[in-house]
Structure 1
């Protein structure tokens, strides 16, 4: 970079890139020195090597580690220095500073009239559109809140209806079970009555067969039971099937 156009331009601005790089390298060296000095003190305290033969061995070991670290660090910093000089502080070819008497383009732009009618009209149109969008956004926000409230109300109504249906189904099942119990009880009662009636009818039929000389033998089966009672029993069973 020495003797180049970039160096001349930086010097004209009272800037020295190489001085900045050197100060950075010196700062890094100071940090490394302080770090290893602190490391030596802590190691000596922890290992209790003050005024002993091990103190010299510890110093040699720390110096060896520092030498290894310093070697790698110096290579890295040398690469960093080259990169800064070639890229960070290198100006494009043909670059030149404007002279003091030359007008600046930015100044010319600033001197142009600021009140452009077309530009103001466009800005006003954009402001109006932004205001309209803000109002529409507020309306949409209110509608959205109304829909949320309606949805919540609908969900509550659906929950109430579901609870009512569950309660109705539960009560219907209970009523059906009670109806079955009543039907079974009624069936048991009728069967008992039928059994008792059949027993009495059989005894009465046998008596009529024995004492009635004008009895109709066609209405009496082989066991002495009346066919009329059998027909009544069949009719009762048919009615029970309809239940």
Structure 2
């Protein structure tokens, strides 16, 4: 009984012919698939689902499944009922699927005339004819790409050197900023400021003390020179007819002049 209704759902297929084949080939070239094969696959899937559903119903209504004294009679009645339902469903399904097939072929899986690709577009040799690349042209293009790669590598090396230089400069600036920050922190410290102010106040006193020490030193030198001159004068006095020399007088005058300047 399975064979009796398993072939009922043979859906209508699009009629063949040269015009249909040409249109199908154009659609295949444009879409990259066969519309009729796609539709047939969908219809076969629907057939399989329908067949499995009714087969399940018939198996559940078999005499062994019913398990009663009148199981055989009931199973036969159930089988007739299932077959009747199957025929009814198949008729409706065939009409629906035929309409779906025609709609797909006319509306969904068609290519407008303006968008139909040329016949040569689907050939593998089209690319070579279109580009017109010969061996020499390919070699020239390869050499050009190699040159571009070499130039890119050179530029990359230069950029890397610049990056390294900038990194060194950034490190130096960062170190300098850190040092300046530390100095500013020390300067902002109150104890450091107090020490600087004390040094500034002590500088005039230090200058005054240095002047006093220098004056004392000059006075000591002048006194020593005077003593030396007096000593020489005393010695010359001992000699008959001696008098102070010009050098002695100039030396004493220089010492006195230096003392006055201080």
TM-score bracket for the superposition, by shorter chain length = 0.3 to 0.5
Q: TM-score normalised to the size of structure 1?
A: 0.36
Query: Which of 1 and 2 has greater Rg?
Result: 2
Higher relative contact order (CA 8 A, sep 6+): 2
Q: TM-score w.r.t. structure 2 length?
A: 0.34
